[in-house]
Amino acid sequence: MPAPAHGPSTAPDAAELTARTRKLLDEHPPTTTPRLDFLRARFDAGLAWVHYPEGLGGLGAPRSLQAVVDAELAAAGAPDNDPRRIGIGLGMAAPTVLQYGSEDVKRRFLKPLWTGEEVWCQLFSEPGAGSDLAALGTRAVREGDSWVVDGQKVWTSSAHTARWAILIARTDPDLPKHRGITYFICDMTDPGVEVRPLRQITGEAEFNEVFLTGVRIPDAHRLGEVGDGWRVAQTTLMNERVSIGGGRLPREGGMIGKLAETWRARPELRTHELHQRLLDLWVDAEVARLTGERLRQQLVAGQPGPEGSAMKLGFARLNQEISGLEVELLGEEGLLYEDWTMVRPELVDFTGRDAGYRYLRAKGNSIEGGTSEVLLNIVAERVLGLPPEPRNDKDVPWKELAR
């Protein structure tokens, strides 16, 4: 069962948060305080995630009041925690650790996760279980107070820079595939962990395949009950889809901004037909942006739901159509890609690269964070209430499934 949350008896309001933030700035001036020291002090002051419990980077305040803190810190020129670099930790690992971790686990992992001292990755997908994640075959066998894990994971972004990983593995092959899974925190420095780069269509190797051979995980690093990993993983997946498709953007932020910038700068490339398509995509992007704002308001009141799947679907479609139109607008020039090299980036850069890079990298948007086909099923069943697709493996033990 999830560990009980705890916090102050009275949640602070906007005025109190403003006062706390100014006190932090007075005691740790951003101009003279080392960046990491400032971030640690911010976490300890409860101003990292204000809606998290006291002592875990928050104060039990409404999530909506985070904007009050962020505005004060930005105005003072305070450093942030480079959220893009540690997005997997912030968007996926932290909510799961908070909901299902023991007190010791939460206090051990949340602070260095938020400050960026420890990068996280996600060991979910497998070569034979990508879209059908519940069919995974990586095994975890109990040995005393530890679990020994053997298997292979794939498409693991940032595994080459990660210190920790969230991992799901099969602990009971005699149960149906959704019920014999357990959720763990895996040490990426364990000698049994091997990370190999996967070169993708952009020439980069931002993600990897990961081989696990006799990896030992203490039972204390298990999140949730044994065999309840699928339910725990849903917390991760719902937060992942929100973090991928529901990020806050200004008007003309993201990919549509780059296309509009190219359009304004290159009048000689314009045609009436391309103009109409640009207008359609601009409207779609603005609708998606405003929908994301509404989704974030819903998050203030609770956990993310299937709406995040719809947002991620729209994000993938828009990125692919926008980048495709930009390449079409630029013609042969749009196919150029200046830095076609084998590099190991820490994060993906959609807007600071060539149009050709954006076009190629956007193809992955319909796969990462759940394929568009899977997300369409989620929206159909959980949002629209349509009947589920027939399944013949629901009650069959995993070990008896054809693979």
Active-site residue set: 240
- Give the per-residue SS3 of the chain: CCCCCCCCCCCCCHHHHHHHHHHHHHHCCCCCCCHHHHHHHHHHCCCCCCCCCECCCECCCCHHHHHHHHHHHHHCCCCCCCCCCCHHHHHHHHHHHHHHCCHHHHHHHHHHHHHCCCCEEEECCECCECCCHHHCCCEEEEECCEEEEEEEEEEEECCCCCCEEEEEEECCCCCECCCCEEEEEEECCCCCEEEEEECCCCCCCCEEEEEEEEEEEEHHHEECCCCEHHHHHHHHHHHHHHHHHCCCCCCCCCHHHHHHHHHHHCHHHCCHHHHHHHHHHHHHHHHHHHHHHHHHHHHCCCCCCCHHHHHHHHHHHHHHHHHHHHHHHHHHHHHCCCCCCCCCCCCCCCCCCCHHHHHHHHHHHHCCCCCHHHHHHHHHHHHCCCCCCCCCCCCCEHHHCCC
* Residue 377, amino acid: N
Q: How far apart, in whole angstroms, are the C-alpha atoms of residue 40 and residue 328?
A: 47
Query: Cα(99)–Cα(120) distance, rounded to whole angstroms?
Result: 17
Q: Which residues contact 329 (CB under 8 A, 6 or more apart)?
A: 259, 262, 263, 266, 269, 270, 274
